[in-house]
Amino acid sequence: MAYLDIITTLLGLVYIWLEYRASIMLWLVGIVMPALDIFLYWSHGLYGDAAMAVYYTVAAIYGWIVWKFCKKHDQKEGEQMPITHMPRRLYVPALLFFLVAWVATWFVLSHYTNSNIPVLDAFTNALSFVGLWTLARKYIEQWFFWILVDAVSCFLYIIKDLPFKASLYGLYVVIAVMGYFKWKKMMKQA
């Protein structure tokens, strides 16, 4: 499966570059990459990540639809969806969703799989749900979720002997920090 690790790593680089640029094309790469990741993660016993890859594939379709066809309150006709701050009223529901998803995913991983790292695997999965939803809505706070997810994932891939994925996620942390500042600048220009 080393070839799959390399291919999905290269696609991951394209994806994060497109996300950094706030390009709608990120969603197309976001369909192909996780579809391949399903097989990679399953073969390494990262069942939570394999399940998340299924979710990422479906969520990429959702993200593309939202970016292409949905509008925010102050968006003008024909204008791209703007980058905005996540409304404060969504903080508590997002936190509660994260906590429920973390516990539920941990329960499934610890009781129905042979995962030897269910707490961290569940953590990255649950926070990824929130991160992907905030990305689909073009909230700048999505970068904070991804910084944390990427740092923990980098550690997980190191201990699971997936060196290319670990390197990719280490790079993701750096790019996520840069992406936050890029999006902040783009938000101010708009």
Quick one: average pLDDT of 69-83? Answer: 76
Enter the pTM of the model: 0.83
48, pLDDT greater than 80: no
Structure tokens at 36: 């391949």
Across all residues in the chain, what is the average pLDDT?
90
Are 166 and 129 in contact by the 8 Å Cβ rule? The answer is: no
In which band, very low, low, confident or very high, does the pLDDT at 121 lie, cut at 50, 70 and 90? confident
What is the residue type of 120? Answer: L
Q: How many CB atoms lie within 10 A of CB 166?
A: 20
pLDDT recorded at residue 115: 82
Answer with the residue of higher pLDDT: 158 or 71. Answer: 158
Mean pLDDT across 158-178: 90
Start-to-end Cα distance in the chain: 44
With CA atoms as reference, report the closest residue to 124 among 90, 169, 66, 57. 169
Average pLDDT for 166-171: 90
List all residues 6 or more positions away from 26 whose beta carbon is below 8 Å from its beta carbon.
15, 18, 19, 63
